Amino acid sequence: MPSQSMIHNPHLEGGPFFWEAGPLGVLLIHGFTATTAEVRPLAKILHQNGYTVSGPLLPGHYTQPEDLNRVKWQDWVAEVETALYQLQAKCPTVFVGGESTGGLLALYLAARHPEVSGILAYAPALKLSASSYDLFRLNLLAPFIPFVPKESMDSDTQWQGYPVNPLKGARQLLKLQKVVLPRLPDIHQPVLVVQGRLDTSVHPSVPETIASRVSSQLVRVHWMPASSHVVIIDLELDQVAEITLQFLRLAISQPSSVTPAP
């Protein structure tokens, strides 16, 4: 059970979920320090539109911040790969997506699994807006300071997770970034990238970096003018959901752009 005192908005639902519907599946992965509460609003809309939706809970999350300092990025990958296999057992067509670190993990999954049908990347954390000095301080302080309070939290009433940033866990995110960036050319599936113009967490160059480096024939980038970092629970959720549904329909109608499973 999560430590209520260290979870922001503990009344929200934050555990893993698997909602069955039709033969088209979507894997939605939450971000760093968050819980599945972050992806549930979009997941509900997709489920209502006939998609089977899975929302795994990343190791080190929804318990206490110290636990996030004990995991490696490979633990997150193992969890989302397990969720992918479970979803593939139910659905012949599966898209992978996520918010922030979840979007980064979705890119990693697509690079490793050519049978994945497409990617839904919401503010994917391929590069942070933090300065070089901030990143230097993070690496310097991580062995000595377990976590630091967050300066602010986007979408405060709907977001659930730790109100602090575990520093060793953050270093794992930085390591994952270095693994994913050179693998972008391995991605051939359709890609959707959605980012808020008011995002102060993910660097604004990220959508263009992804669009220019993947090998996909179908790439769509959408900027949401009134949204901040957690774009899937912000003011423009309805628009983001409609963009997502339109992209899914487009990607499904272009099977030639999806590399078949070996």
Q: What is the mean pLDDT of residues 200-208?
A: 96
Of 149-153, 204-208, 234-238, the least confident = 149-153
| Mean per-residue pLDDT of the chain | 92
- Do residues 85 and 124 touch, judged by C-beta distance below 8 A? no
Q: What is the mean pLDDT of residues 111-119?
A: 97
pLDDT digits (tens, 9 = 90+) for 15-43: 999 999 999 999 999 999 999 999 999 99
Q: Parse the chain into domains and list their residue ranges.
A: 4-257
CA–CA gap between residue 52 and residue 30 (Å, rounded): 17
pLDDT of residue 132: 81
pTM: 0.93
Of 85-89, 137-141, 207-211, the least confident = 137-141
Longest dimension (CA), the chain: 52
CA–CA gap between residue 132 and residue 120 (Å, rounded): 28
Assign 117 a pLDDT band (cuts: 50, 70, 90): very high
pLDDT of residue 259: 40
pLDDT of residue 155: 58
Q: What is the mean pLDDT of residues 200-219?
A: 96
Give me the amino acid identity at 142: A
Q: What is the mean pLDDT of residues 223-252?
A: 96
Of 120-124, 129-133, 136-140, 253-257, the least confident = 253-257
Establish how many alpha carbons lie within 13 A of residue 75's alpha carbon, considering only the half-sphere containing its beta carbon: 14
State percent of the chain over pLDDT 90.
Answer: 83
Nearest by Cα to 29 from 70, 59, 67: 59
pLDDT of residue 105: 98
pLDDT of residue 68: 97
Is domain 4-257 annotated with CATH 3.40.50.1820? yes
Is the predicted pLDDT of residue 203 greater than 50, yes or no? Answer: yes
Q: DSSP readout, 160-218?
A: -B-SEEEHHHHHHHHHHHHHHGGGGGG--S-EEEEEETT-SSB-TTHHHHHHHHS--S-
Is the predicted pLDDT of residue 82 greater than 80, yes or no? Answer: yes
Assign 2 a pLDDT band (cuts: 50, 70, 90): low
Produce one character per residue of 115-129: b if its CB has 16 or more CB atoms within 10 Å, e if not: bbbbbbbbbbbbbbe
pLDDT of residue 121: 98
Assign 133 a pLDDT band (cuts: 50, 70, 90): confident
CA–CA gap between residue 123 and residue 156 (Å, rounded): 17
Q: For the chain, where are the E strands, in sequence order?
A: 17-19, 24-29, 52-55, 93-99, 118-122, 147-149, 164-166, 191-196, 219-224
pLDDT of residue 64: 95
Is the predicted pLDDT of residue 4 greater than 80, yes or no? Answer: no
Instruction: Supply angle C-alpha 47, 48, 54, rounded to 5.
Output: 10
Q: What is the mean pLDDT of residues 180-196?
A: 98
